[in-house]
Structure 1
């Protein structure tokens, strides 16, 4: 009897302040849907692992599988970076906008994909609109009352509008997105010390996972977690010479240019160039034009001006929402930017080659599953980020 295929997944989230249990519950819920649609059998249990993890016992494509999915937690760093009040967030907005404009990064990003640039400008537009409304409310209150009492009432009215806008951010996400872009731009693309220290810890954990000897070690990076995964694996492979299990990298909904185009992102650009030439892992990059929050079908190496004859990866493919999601599902997701940005981790009711649950709980490595596949014909490789 063939033994179960063993895999260990290390998942790097994007800029997300929510604790990692949300990813377990998302996997449990969406995995059940995908199992029903695709005929998988998936059972979720607790996992014996150092960090936050869960086990997936599967019967996929005719073979038993045993997967541990572990979250590389950096939500505490995200939370710390978001502890700014209203005034602090507006100051962040000015600094971040200046960084992207003054360095020419914004114009290069606009030449690449306008969707994610519009998404980046959205929090600025919302915050400026709230500020204008606050000024208008304050001026009206001051004019109606007049004198010093009017000025005091006007200031109070203006502040009340700003506070109301902050409290509505659970629906508007303007503050959240502003903190996200500000975190990336704070050091002009360099990783802050706290994040470098966390990457070092992730590398030690990944070394231990490789030494445990599963059939495949799969690193998954979503959104801004994609470029963290690149740096993590570049660091690991530079330092680790011993052979080990099949090593795979899956980047989903990546926003690499938002960081790599910044002037001080030298470390990230070096990691991209080095990893793209390595023959010691298989790298698949999946995005979708329907996801306005990512740089869809942009080769994250080539667009940074780092491609060339020696580039081996990534294989750039589209999740093709217009084909892999039914019209009814697409209609239900229309204008839900964040939900579409997380669709890579969810069930597809018309699944194609990309099936997150077959990839993470199936019996083939990422290289085996996508062997011989050509990149998407709409892939973008022009070196917009070259300086």
Structure 2
């Protein structure tokens, strides 16, 4: 597969139209047990940094409110230069309760499921395809498996050593039981360290993607339906100029699946419907031939003239698939003309100051979250201009109005936070 980043479908929807004055952003988090806290805090911090640095004009941000059912967290933003202000309702659709349920599963059980998933992916050849798409992501996939094997080996050595050590004083069965307890104790004692290096997060994330690809996540499928109902309701009210569905990381897959289900509901003519995927992990599920619903969802969007889909990729990010084009690389034939997605590079080298770029280049999680953070320098990729600015998504991508720095602003060091 080519690593060139950039594609404009020949049958893409035309650009142009009135500026966006009212927008409804629907953000889909990735596989994250703390998304009910993380993304509001990240948005507030980064938007404050962005406003200090860029000539944004006025801005106001309301407090976040969470719906009683816990599925939607909402706030509003008003920002822009005089005469070009845009009012944005910003929703985060939450499914972190499903993720936390996975985290309550015993670590040993998760390791067993991970091993089964890796072996299945290896046997079906999908692991090799993922490596071919991005060898760095392939290493990220194998990292939790390799650490699982190492931890299992250390636990086995400890258990065997303890059993042999006390075999002279206790019967063989009792010695073996104590050895097994020692091995399990090592695994349990290692959990805080594993959490610090994101191992349990990656284990459960991989298990989730594998289960989803083989049709074993009915809880998640049910949540997708609720999310689609919410977005369809926003579209039907007709109170905004653009409904923008945004997904980052594995949340990009969720955004694609939600967008496809929204289209299935047969929406009448109304607001512009746009889909923005950032640092997508879409191939993790979509390359599996058993993931028939997901693959059908992707191809529905590829040929749709009802929405515009833009996919931003970054070769510096280990946890996406730069150069991946679903219209070409899934081995599926679109039913009609290819209209989506427009594929662009974030060009991180051009929007991050060099000293910061050097510091974060070898921090995969930090670079992965750059998609959602304030630029250091003006550029075509600008998360806040895309989601809060006066241009509709396709207009912004095809003919971006670059937001300039404030005259007195100078790039400030980017804070490094452990959670990202």
TM-score calculated relative to the size of structure 2: 0.83
Indicate the residue corresponding to 1:224 in structure 2. Answer: 250
User: Which one of the candidate residues 196, 201, 205 is aligned to 2:230?
Assistant: 205
Of the two structures, which has the highest relative contact order with CA contacts closer than 8 Å and spacing of 6 or more? Answer: 2
User: Which one of the candidate residues 22, 25, 29 is aligned to 1:13?
Assistant: 29
User: Which one of the candidate residues 52, 70, 79 is aligned to 1:58?
Assistant: 79
CA distance, structure 2, for counterparts of residue 259 and residue 266 of structure 1: 10
CA deviations over 1:245-292 (Å, ceiling 9, x no partner): 111100011111110111311111111111111111111101211110
Q: 1:162 to 1:110 in 2, by over 3 A?
A: same
Indicate the residue corresponding to 1:44 in structure 2. Answer: 61
CA distance, structure 1, for counterparts of residue 61 and residue 316 of structure 2: 30
User: Which one of the candidate residues 16, 19, 32 is aligned to 2:48?
Assistant: 32
Which runs of 5 or more structure 1 residues have no equivalent in the other structure?
374-387
Is 2:150 aligned against 1:125? no
Q: CA deviation at 1:307?
A: 5.6
Which runs of 5 or more structure 2 residues have no equivalent in the other structure?
1-17, 401-420
Contact 2:40–2:64, Cα closer than 8 Å, also in 1: no
CA deviations over 1:163-185 (Å, ceiling 9, x no partner): 12222122121121111111111
Is 2:118 aligned against 1:91? no
Contact 1:276–1:311, Cα closer than 8 Å, also in 2: yes
Once structures 1 and 2 are overlaid, which stretch shifts more, 60-69 or 150-159? 150-159
CA distance, structure 2, for counterparts of residue 344 and residue 59 of structure 1: 21
CA distance, structure 1, for counterparts of residue 379 and residue 115 of structure 2: 43
User: Which one of the candidate residues 315, 319, 324 is aligned to 1:293?
Assistant: 319
Q: CA deviation at 1:191?
A: 6.3
Indicate the residue corresponding to 2:332 in structure 1. Answer: 306
Q: How does 1:30-179 map to 2 (within 5 A)?
A: 30-40=46-56, 41-46=58-63, 50=67, 51-60=72-81, 63-147=84-168, 148=170, 151=176, 153-179=178-204
Contact 1:13–1:224, Cα closer than 8 Å, also in 2: yes
Q: CA deviation at 1:146?
A: 3.9
Q: CA deviation at 1:142?
A: 3.5
User: Which one of the candidate residues 348, 355, 365 is aligned to 2:382?
Assistant: 355
CA distance, structure 1, for counterparts of residue 210 and residue 178 of structure 2: 37
Contact 2:232–2:265, Cα closer than 8 Å, also in 1: no
Q: 1:214 to 1:141 in 2, by over 3 A?
A: same
Once structures 1 and 2 are overlaid, which stretch shifts more, 314-323 or 7-16? 314-323
Q: CA deviation at 1:141?
A: 3.2
Q: CA deviation at 1:300?
A: 2.8
Contact 1:223–1:254, Cα closer than 8 Å, also in 2: yes
Indicate the residue corresponding to 1:234 in structure 2. Answer: 260
TM-score calculated relative to the size of structure 1: 0.89
CA deviations over 1:1-60 (Å, ceiling 9, x no partner): x99811110011111111423211100101111222222243221367852111112125
Q: CA deviation at 1:217?
A: 0.6
Indicate the residue corresponding to 1:376 in structure 2. Answer: none
